[in-house]
Structure 1
Amino acid sequence: MKTRVETFTPPSTPKPIGPYSHIAKVGEHIWIGGTAGVDPSTQQLAGPHVAEQTRQILKSFKVMLESVGSGLDHIVHVNVFLQDMSDFEAMNSAYVEMMGEHRPARTVFSVKELPKPGVLLTMNLTAVTKSGSPA
């Protein structure tokens, strides 16, 4: 049996700034690449603060995950790339607000810079479809 890798970017999400798709899916497994807090309706940052950008990233993740039969409650792992660790608490507050009670594994990195001007953080994730729910 041949493994099929599907890659795409849903139309109601921010446009990638490079030669990549936001989503890669193999069977029940989903990967979403580095996503910034860009409002897809304007293609501009959702705001100048880390909390606004965090909320927008998770809103975009929700749309992306729903497009492949998943949701925020099916995220297995999240990587957070923060430009300034002093934004950690504000990011955490917005993250908890958007994620509710679901607490996937998470890693937070401090990075020197990010490719889009004004971006304070990006996130990527690994998830499963609702039919492939973790135990």
Structure 2
Amino acid sequence: MTIKRFGSLGGVGTGGQHLPFSSAVQAGGWLMVSGQTPMTDGEVVEGGIIEQSRLAIQNCLDIMQQAGYGLDTVVHVTVILTDARYFQSFNKVFKEVFGAHPPARICAVASLVVDCKVEVDVTCYKAP
């Protein structure tokens, strides 16, 4: 099995720090996208949970597209919210994006290392 890494030179985190992990890793038809926060060019984009959720998910979708995967290939999503009160609002965005192809999902509440409201990762599969 071949393993292919995307963004392995590392992204840029808050304050311009180098992130020492791949944006995604592909192995045998699977694609695992690292957790994405609502960041653009290494800076958190301010806004409410709706705006931050859309951007975190879009960041995942952009990485997936670079690797040749689409929405219909998403099999699992992990969501971390910083406040349980964000759950319904996040679900609204989630349904907008994944409505036609709902994946399995886990959603948890925890503190994040980055000062934002949400982090999202995805696992995709397509036959090799």
**TM-score when scaled to structure 1?**
0.80
SS in 1 for 2:112: coil
Deviates more, 1:66-75 or 1:42-51: 42-51
How many angstroms apart in 2 are the aligned matches of 1:99 and 1:43? Answer: 26
Which residue number in structure 2 is paired with residue 105 of structure 1? 104
Matches for 1:51-62 after TM superposition, within 5 Å? 51-62=50-61
Which residue number in structure 2 is paired with residue 4 of structure 1? 2
Aligned with 2:118 (options 101, 116, 121)? 121
5+ residue gaps, structure 2: none
Residue 33 (1) aligns with residue 31 (2): no
Matched residues, number? 123
Provide, for residues 88-119 of structure 1, a one-character-per-residue CA deviation record: whole Å limited to 9, x for no partner.
011111111222321000000111x11112x1
**Is the Cα–Cα contact under 8 Å of residues 30 and 123 in structure 2 kept in the other structure?**
yes
Q: CA deviation at 1:10?
A: 8.6
**Percent identical across equivalent pairs?**
23
How many angstroms apart in 2 are the aligned matches of 1:58 and 1:110? Answer: 17
Q: CA deviation at 1:83?
A: 0.8
Q: CA deviation at 1:47?
A: 2.8
5+ residue gaps, structure 1: none
